[in-house]
Amino acid sequence: MTRILVSNDDGIWSPGIRALAEALEELGEVLVVAPDVEQSAMSHAITIRRPLRYRKTKIGGLNAYRVDGTPADCVALGVANHGPPDLVVSGINIGSNIGFNVTHSGTVAAAMEGTLYKIPSIAVSLRLKRDLPMDFGPAADAAAALSKVVLRDGLPEGTLLNVNVPPGQPKGYRVTRLSVHQYQGSVLRRVDPEGEEYYWMTGDPVADERDGYDWAAIEQEYVSITPLKLDLTDLQRLPDVEKSMRELVAREAAPARG
Ligand code: MN
């Protein structure tokens, strides 16, 4: 029997994880392990200085476990308690995770954690639109369709899929690369009622219209599928860096100064 571990960063009570888990039930046995409260933008953090609790619960008719930790904690505990599944799927996140923004994403990190265990892993996020109601249906369908393919073909070791679904009914699928998804005005400074300054991380995303990138695919109403590598080494630029650092590297051979 195919086993699928489902997690997220919006927390176990998010409608997104429920829609995802229910859609994946047709592909195998689904186990939900997710944070007990929202952990968005926690990235790949893990909890190492306090104990974690793993508590049985139910979402809909599904067996689930809630963890007082991060998305990565959830995947690690799920694997530790039930053995490695055939697939890890994280989401459906409320809001897109595209461009360089993936480095902040807890949704993507849960899939990264699965990838660390050599389990094929997928992160799924839904782009929201102000005037449209939040509908996880098309994203759940896309997640099931993609999961089916990944269960059949697997993924290269160290590679995960970052999937973003446009609002409404997608026109189809596109395989893309990460856009340069930055935020304008991302640190707001204001004054609280006590007269003290506070800061709020926010901002509007800057468009990146290039064809073949995740931003454009979503804008054109396609499901964007981006393969991501855990190995962030820039192999292409490694020789340049080696050249620029050559004096420092050479210094190692010199006798240590007493
Ligand atoms: Mn989130």
Q: How far apart are CA 150 and CA 139, in angstroms?
A: 16
Q: How far is the CA of 252 from the centre of ligand 1 (A)?
A: 45
Q: What single-letter amino acid sits at 72? A: A
pLDDT tens digits, 175-202 = 999 998 777 768 899 999 999 999 998 8
Closest CA to 19 of 128, 173, 171, 139: 139
Residues 6+ apart with CB under 8 A from 27: 2, 4, 144, 147, 148, 151
Q: How far is the CA of 238 from the centre of ligand 1 (A)?
A: 34
pLDDT tens digits, 133-150 = 899 999 999 999 999 999
Q: How far is the CA of 11 from the centre of ligand 1 (A)?
A: 8
Domains of the chain: 3-180+209-232 (3.40.1210.10)
Average pLDDT for 42-70: 96
Q: How far is the CA of 239 from the centre of ligand 1 (A)?
A: 37
Residue 243 CA, chain-centre distance (Å), reads 35
Closest CA to 227 of 138, 108, 55: 108
131: tokens are: 């005037």
Q: How far is the CA of 201 from the centre of ligand 1 (A)?
A: 15
Residues with CB under 5 Å of ion ligand 1 are 9-10, 40, 93
pLDDT tens digits, 218-252 = 999 999 999 999 999 999 999 999 999 999 999 87
Residue 134 CA, chain-centre distance (Å), reads 19
- Burial (CB count within 10 angstroms: exposed 0-12, middle 13-18, buried 19+), residue 202: exposed
